[in-house]
């Protein structure tokens, strides 16, 4: 995933306190706009940026969804045969 070590911009201090944020997602657009020489490691005591929060949430969701989908894909490919086999067995038993 695009999770990176927390960082914040040295310019956050120029913003009003409630607007100061840190980032921890490499795909975050405002985070990416911060040049490396303006980055400080850690959260600086600031809250996590909303874009990072969103990306982190979606990243987790997307990751789990893909896993579920691939499992379902494998299962549904197998399932018609199993279902058919079960019907054959049921038929023979009755």
Element (H, E) at 12: none
3-state secondary structure of 26: coil
Question: Which token pair is 93?
Answer: 């038993």
Residue in 9, 20, 31, 34 binding Zn ion, rule: CB under 5 A: 31
In the complex, what is the shortest distance from the CB of residue 4 to Zn ion, in angstroms, rounded to a whole number?
10
Q: Beta partners for 8?
A: 40
Residue in 4, 47, 51, 59 binding Zn ion, rule: CB under 5 A: 51
Strands 21-25 and 39-41 turn out to be: unpaired
Q: Any contact of residue 9 with Zn ion (CB under 5 A)? A: no
Q: Any contact of residue 28 with Zn ion (CB under 5 A)? A: yes
Q: Any contact of residue 52 with Zn ion (CB under 5 A)? A: yes
């Amino acid at each position: 995933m695009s999770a990176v070590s927390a960082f914040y911009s040295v310019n956050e201090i120029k913003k009003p306190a409630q607007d100061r944020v840190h980032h921890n997602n490499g795909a975050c657009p405002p985070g990416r706009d911060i040049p490396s020489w303006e980055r400080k490691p850690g959260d600086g005591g600031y809250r996590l940026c909303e874009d990072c929060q969103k990306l982190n949430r979606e990243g987790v969701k997307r990751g789990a969804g893909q896993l579920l989908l691939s499992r379902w894909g494998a299962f549904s490919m197998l399932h018609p045969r199993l279902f058919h086999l079960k019907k054959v067995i049921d038929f023979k038993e009755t």
